[in-house]
Amino acid sequence: MSDTKKITLKPLRPEDALDMFSGLSDNRAYQFIPDEPPVSLEALRDRYVFLSEGGNSDGTEIWLNWVIRQAVDQKAVGYTQATLTAEEAIVAYHIFPAYWRQGIAAEAMKLTLKTIFHNPDIKIARAFVDTRNHASIGLLHKLGLKQVRTIHDADFFKGANSHEYEFEITQTEWLKTPILSQT
């Protein structure tokens, strides 16, 4: 796929479960998302088999998932993903807590957006973030995404209502920002 001096993005494969399991087992990363750590290595591998199918059965969604690896030693440090539907992509990322605040999420999301916007059919990328997740909100702003709405009671998890911000950036906006589109 793509790389920078700091990271590489590699398409997710079932055999990546072994490298990902430990980092995904850190509870700190689940404060603002309704997911939970994987229950077992086998369950994670099964999930990756499912994701590797590349989309839903009716073909209306394409699933793109990448493992983020450090360029220097290829150690897994998280993942990015994009779900493509018609002209839009929903993007997300997950960085293992041991690697927070090192610029990895920014580089990984730049590569992810660069990749999806090379598809001429994709006109807009969207991201959704819990309103309490200030680090992710800051990252999305840094990447040029604009907050377009607030979704109250978007989800209920861990005993509380979650409100979300929806962010978006168009392909045209992305391509007009050379510092972002040319990672």
Mean pLDDT confidence for 151-175: 88
Count of structural domains within the chain: 1
**Helices 17-24 and 41-51, axial angle in degrees (round to 10):** 120
User: Is the predicted pLDDT of residue 181 greater than 90, yes or no?
Assistant: no
Lowest mean pLDDT among 102-106, 113-117, 161-165: 161-165
pTM: predicted TM-score of the whole model, two decimal places:
0.90
Q: What CATH number does residue 144 fall under? A: 3.40.630.30
Question: Is the distance from CB of 51 to CB of 65 less than 8 angstroms?
Answer: yes
pLDDT tens-place string over residues 59-76: 889 999 999 999 999 999
Q: What is the mean pLDDT of the chain?
A: 91
Full residue range of the structural domain in which residue 10 is found: 2-181
User: Is the predicted pLDDT of residue 3 greater than 90, yes or no?
Assistant: no
CB proximity list for 122: less than 8 A, separation 6 or greater = 84, 87, 88, 89, 116, 171
The pLDDT, as a whole number, for residue 84 is 95
